[in-house]
Amino acid sequence: MNDRADLHLHTCYSDGNYSPTEIIQKAKEAELKVISITDHDSVSGIDEAIEVGKENNIEVVAGIELSARCESSEVHILGYFIDYKNRDLVEKLSFFQNERLRRAERIVNKLNKMNIPITIDSVLDQVNGDSIGRPHIANALVEEGHAESYNEAFNRYIGNGRPAYEQKWNFSPEETIRLISQAGGLSFLAHPGRSLNEELIYRLIKAGLDGIEVIHPSHSPDLVYYYRGIVNEYCLLESGGSDYHGGERGDDDAFGQYYIPIATVDIMRRRLFSN
Ligand code: AMP
Ligand code: MN
Ligand code: MN
Ligand code: MN
């Protein structure tokens, strides 16, 4: 115990339910030693997490989760040890946040055309931070009585390929990896899961990907073994975490259950040093 790191956590600055302070309190209870705040397209929770983390003897790795466009699908790339005040990064994040708002408006329009009278203001009521996502729309749909549950909102309306789904504007994986690298960070392919094709992984490795998120709630033991094999074969780094959001989606059991040893975080730091 006490040597655990969870490098994938969301806060209310994107689509998580808890503040950075609350996440640190939960991390303390779960006896995590190192965490990373990896909000979607936002670094706004990092300062608070670092400050409260210091008071509680928990190290906070500055992180981010970015979405990248791949033909018709999307992959998520985690950045760790980023200079989260880097000007270019901050500028690009505010562009992504703006694209998220425009995409939420498009989704609301689609829902209205399906005779669901939801407004962008009711969605904005669900947002605490600067990065609007589909989870906020799901919460608004539930609150306004158009869906029974968060999951139903995704399954019926806004999940991938569902009738009110809209893509958001994203960088290519290559541009995303470069953005993280230029902000001094390491990039990791997030939760590759079952459906990712191998060619894409090799494309990302060629683009300078530093590692793969091997430990994740969606990964069976077989998948962990498989991705660890790729990590070793290509001299990549391994990461892992709970991808915890909290709230309506019922992932509270995951907190503290998906982690990597802090020695693995030290290996990342050494890679940064030698870059
Ligand atoms: P967005 O970044 O706005 O496209 O929203 C994606 C986020 O919605 C993910 O990070 C998850 O937190 C959540 N999400 C995506 N798909 C589902 C799903 N099928 N059911 C529940 N939550 C989902
Ligand atoms: Mn999310
Ligand atoms: Mn993700
Ligand atoms: Mn995530």
pLDDT 10s digits, 131-178: 999 999 999 999 999 999 999 999 999 999 999 999 998 999 999 999
Instruction: Kindly state if the Cβ of 40 falls inside 6 Å of ligand 1.
Output: yes
Helix (H) or strand (E) segment spanning residue 221 = helix 221-233
- Asked if residue 261 has pLDDT above 80, the reply is yes
pLDDT, the chain, mean? 96
Task: Kindly report the CATH number that applies to the domain delimited by 4-85+172-274.
Answer: 3.20.20.140
**pLDDT at residue 1 tops 70:** no
- Three-state DSSP state, 102: helix
Whether the Cβ atoms of residue 238 and residue 228 lie closer than 8 Å to each other: yes
135 lines ligand 1 (CB under 6 A): yes
For a pLDDT cut of 70, what percent of the chain falls above it?
Answer: 99
159 lines ligand 1 (CB under 6 A): yes
Query: Among all ligands shown, which has an atom nearest to the Cα of 244?
Result: 4
* Beta carbons within 8 Å of 12's beta carbon, 6+ residues apart: 18, 19, 45, 128, 129
Token pair for 35: 């965490």
Could you tell me whether strands 4-9 and 260-261 are parallel, antiparallel, or unpaired per DSSP bridges? antiparallel
Angle between helices 173-182 and 87-113 (to 10 degrees): 140
User: CA-CA-CA-CA torsion for 117, 109, 161, 222, nearest 10 degrees?
Assistant: -80
**pLDDT at residue 2, as a whole number:** 66
Instruction: Indicate which ligand has the atom closest to the C-alpha of 15.
Output: 2
Q: Is 245 in the pocket of ligand 1 (CB under 6 A)?
A: yes
Between the alpha carbon of residue 54 and those of residues 50, 59, 70, 113, the distances in Å are 6, 7, 38, 49
CATH code linked to domain 93-158: 1.10.150.650
**Confidence check: pLDDT of 246 > 90:** yes
| Ligand 1 nearest atom to the CA of residue 150, by list position | 21
Short-list 166, 94, 95, CA closest to 137: 166
Q: Which of 15, 65, 93 should be mutated for ligand 1, with most atoms under 8 A from CB?
A: 15
72: pLDDT confidence band, cut at 50, 70 and 90?
confident
pLDDT tier, 249 (very low <50, low <70, confident <90, very high otherwise):
confident
The average pLDDT across 196-203 equals 88
**Is residue 122 a contact partner of residue 144, using CB atoms and an 8 Å limit?**
yes
At residue 275, does pLDDT exceed 90? no
> What pLDDT is recorded for position 204?
96
Q: State which ligand 1 atom lies nearest to the alpha carbon of 168.
A: 4
Rounded to two decimals, what is the model's pTM? 0.97
How many CB atoms neighbour CB 99 within 10 A?
A: 15
Determine the angle formed by the axes of helices 46-55 and 20-29, rounding to 10 degrees: 40
- Lowest mean pLDDT segment, chosen from 25-39, 42-56, 161-175, 243-257: 243-257
Give 39 Cα–ligand 4 centroid separation in angstroms: 7
Residue 19 has pLDDT above 60, yes or no: yes
Model confidence pLDDT, tens digit, residues 82-140: 999 999 999 999 999 999 999 999 999 999 999 999 999 999 999 999 999 999 999 99
Q: Which atom of ligand 1 is nearest to the CA of 41?
A: 2
Q: Distance, CA 137 to ligand 3 centroid (Å)? A: 17
- pLDDT band for position 215 (50/70/90)? very high
The owner of tokens 């960070």 is: 185
- Res 11 pLDDT > 80: yes
pLDDT at position 194, please?
84
CA distance 138 to 196: 26
Which ligand 1 atom minimizes the distance to the CA of 65? 10
**Rounded to the nearest 5°, which phi and psi values hold at 222?**
-65, -40
Give me the residue spans of the domains in the chain: 4-85+172-274, 93-158
